[in-house]
Amino acid sequence: MEGKGKVNGVAAMAACYQGFDPAAYLQYNYTPPRADFERKDSIVPWKLACLHRAFTEGDVRGELLVDIGSGPTLYQVLSGCEVFNKVLLTDFLEVNRQELRGWLEDEGGCNLDWTPYLQHVCKLEGRRPSAWTEKAAKLRQVITDIVPVDVHRPQPLALYALPSEGADCLVSCFCLESVSPDLAAFTRALGHIGRLLRTGGHLLLIGALGESYYFGGPGVRIPVVPLNEAQVCASLKESGYTLIRLEVYTLPQDMRVGVDDVSGVFFVKAIKE
Ligand X SMILES: O=S(=O)(c1ccc2c(c1)CN[C@@H](CF)C2)N1CCSCC1
Interface ranges with ligand X (CB under 6 A): 29-30, 34-35, 43-44, 47, 174, 178, 208, 211, 214, 224, 260, 262, 265
* Span from 54-62, 126-134, 146-154, 263-271 in contact with ligand SAM (CB under 6 A): 146-154
Q: In DSSP terms, which residues pair with 269 in a beta bridge?
A: 204, 245
Residue 11 CB coordination number (10 Å): 11
The single-letter DSSP state of residue 109 is -
Helix ranges, the chain (H): 2-16, 22-30, 43-56, 94-105, 115-124, 132-142, 176-179, 183-194, 229-238
Q: Pick the binder of ligand SAM from 103, 114, 174, 186 (CB under 6 A).
A: 174
Please say which residue, 14 or 271, places its beta carbon nearer to ligand X.
14
CA-nearest of 168, 118, 112, 157 to 140 is: 118
Q: In angstroms, give the least distance from the CB of 90 to ligand SAM.
A: 7
> Rounded distance, CA 87 to CA 66, Å?
6
Min CB(44)–ligand X separation in Å: 4
SS3 state at 161: helix
Q: Which of 149, 162, 227, 255 binds ligand SAM (CB under 6 A)?
A: 149
Distance of CA 76 to the CA centre of its chain: 6
Q: Which residue is nearest to ligand SAM (CB)?
A: 71
Q: Which of 17, 84, 114, 215 binds ligand SAM (CB under 6 A)?
A: 17
Q: Rule CB under 6 A: is residue 66 a binding residue for ligand SAM?
A: no
Q: Under the criterion CB under 6 A, does residue 187 sit at the interface with ligand SAM? A: no
> Nearest distance from residue 27's CB to ligand X, in Å?
11
**Cα–Cα distance, 75 to 87 (Å, whole number):** 13
Q: Report which of 52, 106, 58, 93 is spatially closest to residue 75, judged by C-alpha positions.
A: 52
85: exposed, middle or buried (Cβ count in 10 Å: 0-12, 13-18, 19+): middle
Binding mask 84-103 for ligand SAM (x = CB under 6 A): -------xxx--x-------
Selected from 42, 79, 119, 178, the binder of ligand SAM by CB under 6 A is: 178
Query: What is the spatial distance between Cα 221 and Cα 235, in angstroms, rounded to a whole number?
Result: 25
Number of residues that bind ligand SAM (CB under 6 A): 20
Among 175, 205, 236, 262, binds ligand SAM (CB under 6 A): 175
Interacting residue ranges for ligand SAM, rule: CB under 6 A: 17, 20, 69-71, 73, 76, 91-93, 96, 149-152, 173-175, 178-179
